[in-house]
Amino acid sequence: MIKLFFMFFKISSLALGGGYAMIPVMLKNLTSANLLTEEEFKDILSIAQAMPGPIAFKTSWLIGKKIYGIKGAIVASLGILIPPFFSIVLVASILKKYSNNKFVSAFTKGAYASLIGMVAGILYDFVKTTKFNVYDIFIILLSVLMMFFYPNYTVIVFFSSVLLFYFLEKGYDKNV
């Protein structure tokens, strides 16, 4: 089990590009260590892709569970999670220490602006491909106004809106 932990720890530490970049590295490491066949890996990957959440975590959990049961799932998941966790803590501590530096401040403002741009792009694509009716627009506007004027109730307003959309959509679709 220690071997599995360090395998995922190494993959998470050294594979650049996020979860999907780790997948071929996982496959190569697991098949060369004779822990899984390529077919078993592909089966696990197809299940992981159908589940919500980060692909590297889901895949490591399912692989660990297949090889060593629930203890293996926990060990493999920790191996995947620990490197990015400490990387984030390290970067955050550096940014905090040098937050008054004009270059660091400019970097964080630029990163924040790019994040807003990415989220706005995703939102634009979503809005562009979605067909809204009068009720949808009313619920969205009402929800945004309620979150603006009552920020302490944002979570309640959000989930209430989701439920309202779900039940309205269910009412429109007679096949459900």
Q: What's the one-letter identity of residue 38?
A: E
Secondary structure (3-state) at 72: helix
- pLDDT score at 28: 93
- pLDDT score at 44: 93
Torsion of CA 102, 107, 109, 111, to 10 degrees: -170
Q: How is residue 53 written in tokens? A: 């959440």
> What are the residues whose beta carbons fall under 8 Å from the beta carbon of 9, sequence distance 6 or more?
79, 80, 82, 83
Q: How is residue 164 written in tokens? A: 């309202």
- pLDDT score at 174: 52
pTM of the model: 0.59
Residue 94 C-beta-side C-alpha neighbours within 13 Å? 10
- pLDDT score at 176: 45
How is residue 17 annotated by DSSP? S
One pLDDT digit (tens) per residue for the chain, 176 residues: 999 999 999 999 988 777 888 999 999 999 999 999 999 999 999 999 888 888 899 999 999 999 999 999 999 999 999 999 998 899 888 888 888 889 988 988 888 888 888 878 877 887 787 777 888 888 889 988 998 899 899 889 988 888 888 787 766 555 54
Taking the CA atoms of 51, 53, 55 and 59 in sequence, report the sign of the dihedral they define: negative
Give CA–CA dist 59/49, Å, rounded.
Answer: 8
Give CA–CA dist 137/165, Å, rounded.
Answer: 11
- pLDDT score at 173: 52
- pLDDT score at 151: 87
- pLDDT score at 124: 82
> What are the residues whose beta carbons fall under 8 Å from the beta carbon of 168, sequence distance 6 or more?
135, 136, 139
- pLDDT score at 8: 95
Q: How is residue 111 written in tokens? A: 């990163």
Every domain of the chain and the residues it spans: 2-97, 102-172
